[in-house]
Chain A
Amino acid sequence: MPITPDEVEYVANLARLELTEEEKERFAGQLDAILQYMEKLNELDTSGVEPLVHGIAGRQATRPDRVEESLPRDEALANAPEKSEGCFRVPRIIE
């Protein structure tokens, strides 16, 4: 089933991307090609094969539960476009 421009718009909206009509059309075609290519994998019989979670063989490293120094607040906020009262300042949130 080919990807439609509506689906592209839906996904773009979830990712907070604004696309033009022309882009939606173009990306629909491109995404479709990618998904069709991936479909090829379904031709293989993978019954009895453990799903692979990660491309690297290995296990997650852990660390002891020790408190380390945090950033000074000025540094933490240094990249914020807007700040006040020691906080990141964002457009008013409505729930």
Chain B
Amino acid sequence: MHYEPVIGLETHAELLTASKLWCGCSIRFGRPPNTQTCPVCLGMPGTLPVLNERALELALRAALALGCRINRPTSFDRKNYYYPDLPKNYQISQNYCNLGEDGRLEIPVNGEVRAVGISNVHLEEDAGKNLHVDYPGADYSLVDLNRAGTPLLEIVTAPDMRAVEEAVSFMQTLRRLLLYTEVSDCKMQEGSLRFEASISMRPAGTNRLGPRVEIKNLNSIKAVTAALEYEVRRQSRLLQDGGEVKQETRLWDEERGRSARMRTKEEAHDYRYFPDPDLLPVAIGDALLDRVRATVPELPLARRERFIAEHGLSDYNASVLTDSKELADYFEGCLQHHEAPESIANWLLNVVLGQINQRDISIREFELGPERLAELVRLMDEGAINQQAARDVMEKMVKTGKTAGALVKELGLEQIGDESDLAPLIEQVIEENPGPVKDYLGGKQAAVGPLVGQVMRLSRGKADPKLANRMLREKLEAMK
């Protein structure tokens, strides 16, 4: 029998705030342990949490971008469990009246678009961090509460995904959406984006949901992918051998590439949620909602479609350019100064991206703004300089801060695009390179390539290569 997986994902994204969800402690990463705490996030009795309005706005923006219905008012509940990194023995979360519900995220799967249901989007506080001590014989662990109270957005999908690839596409698409909307920086190595997966298997084509296995400790998209693939194999094998899958929580062991049942006996998800009596419902008025709605940017998939339709870009170019909001903004910024989508796109993808990737900077940190780059591409499109010269000019623009026009003049790089200026060089090259000339005359068309190269060398890169190519061919054809 063939089995198919049924996959759901829970995503935790750290919100881009300066301070914690319920108190003014900083959420800066990498500070010495327990230096960013106060009575509120330490869970001292008698303290009163006060909601960070920025966190609410960011969560609202994400919920709107995911097409959720917004609960107004929304309210907070206590999720009760015991763990050393949870100072209050409960986490302030949402259960009865989530900020957003019933949304969807469209994801690309094998060239088609599929919608994955979003059950809910809610706000909660992060726990602290347990540090495991590996001194021989150490019988204790250490707890750092700097992270306790950090604002988190939890995004819960419906069990809508039917293949590991769909889960991968969902995670990538969601990550891009959170970056686009500037809700989270999604730095996985700092734990700003974390996943939990649940997966069950069922005979393909049936509707029955099998026992669900939850997988924790997934710190990267790669880890989720590997863990899901492992789980598909494990469960399929169990079922094929006539066994049963047990409903349980498993921990992913990245090093060994396998998961194992959690050893701690969790009292299966009995969190005894109840409304937090310290917290009143949170009003979301029309003014707030409208203001936040206005900050939801055009989303990546829609923007990609528009780039194809409006700017005539190829599917590939549109995908790469809309991969980050900064790059897409930069591209459209260039178009305002030089309306040539294709040549701008090509220059960005073939030259600029290579350079910024090599220097490990973002397009935002690139020295040339859209206006200055657009001028360079325009000079090239107008035939004033060729590609190689443009590369040199760009390098000098970065170094000197001068404009493309000024540098072209200064360096004497204006392209030789005039037949009479090029003619003597063509003569010389044909004379000095009898080998390739003989090859060409013998029928080897490709031999014109090295000859064009020689023209470029003699002109110190200033010749228009297309013109040189045409003139060489004409001359050689005449010699036949």
Residue of A16, A69, A73, A95 contacting most chain B CB atoms (<10 Å): A95
If A62-B51, A94-B263, A95-B262 touch, whether A88 touches B17 (CB-CB below 8 Å) is no
Interface secondary structure of B, over-half rule: loop
Question: Chain A contact residues (Cβ within 8 angstroms of B): what range?
Answer: 35 or more
Partner of B143, one of A54, A55, A71, A90: A90
Across the interface, do A65 and B80 meet the contact criterion of CB distance under 8 Å?
A: no
Partner of B267, one of A14, A77, A87: A14
- How near does chain B come to A74, taking the closest CB pair, in angstroms? 10
| CA–CA, A69 and B25, complex, Å | 7
Residue A20 CB within 8 A of the other chain: no
A95 — which chain B residues lie within 8 A by C-beta? 251, 262-264
Partner of B18, one of A56, A60, A65: A65
Residue B115 CB within 8 A of the other chain: no
Residue A53 CB within 8 A of the other chain: yes
Partner of A64, one of B54, B262, B283: B54
Across the interface, do B132 and A67 meet the contact criterion of CB distance under 8 Å?
A: no
Q: Mark A37-48, 1 if CB is under 8 A from B, else 0.
A: 000000000000
If A86-B34, A87-B33 touch, whether A59 touches B145 (CB-CB below 8 Å) is no
Across the interface, do A53 and B97 meet the contact criterion of CB distance under 8 Å?
A: yes
| CA–CA, A49 and B292, complex, Å | 30
B133 — which chain A residues lie within 8 A by C-beta? 92
Interface secondary structure of A, over-half rule: loop
Across the interface, do A73 and B32 meet the contact criterion of CB distance under 8 Å?
A: yes
- How near does chain A come to B302, taking the closest CB pair, in angstroms? 29
Return the chain B residue nearest A72 by Cβ.
B35
Across the interface, do A70 and B142 meet the contact criterion of CB distance under 8 Å?
A: no
Q: Count contacts on B: residues with CB < 8 A to the other chain.
A: 57
Across the interface, do A66 and B50 meet the contact criterion of CB distance under 8 Å?
A: no
| CA–CA, A85 and B23, complex, Å | 25
| CA–CA, A94 and B17, complex, Å | 32
Across the interface, do B142 and A59 meet the contact criterion of CB distance under 8 Å?
A: no
If A54-B277, A63-B24, A63-B51 touch, whether A88 touches B56 (CB-CB below 8 Å) is no
Return the chain B residue nearest A13 by Cβ.
B267
Across the interface, do B37 and A71 meet the contact criterion of CB distance under 8 Å?
A: yes
B38 — which chain A residues lie within 8 A by C-beta? 68, 70-71, 76
Residue A91 CB within 8 A of the other chain: yes
Across the interface, do B283 and A60 meet the contact criterion of CB distance under 8 Å?
A: yes
Q: Which 3 A-B pairs have the closest CB atoms?
A: A68-B24, A65-B54, A87-B142
Identify 22 residue pairs between A and B in the complex whose beta-carbon atoms are under 8 Å apart, listed by A's number: A53-B73, A54-B281, A56-B280, A59-B73, A59-B281, A59-B283, A60-B283, A63-B52, A66-B19, A67-B25, A68-B25, A70-B37, A76-B38, A77-B34, A85-B33, A85-B142, A86-B35, A89-B140, A89-B142, A90-B130, A92-B140, A93-B141
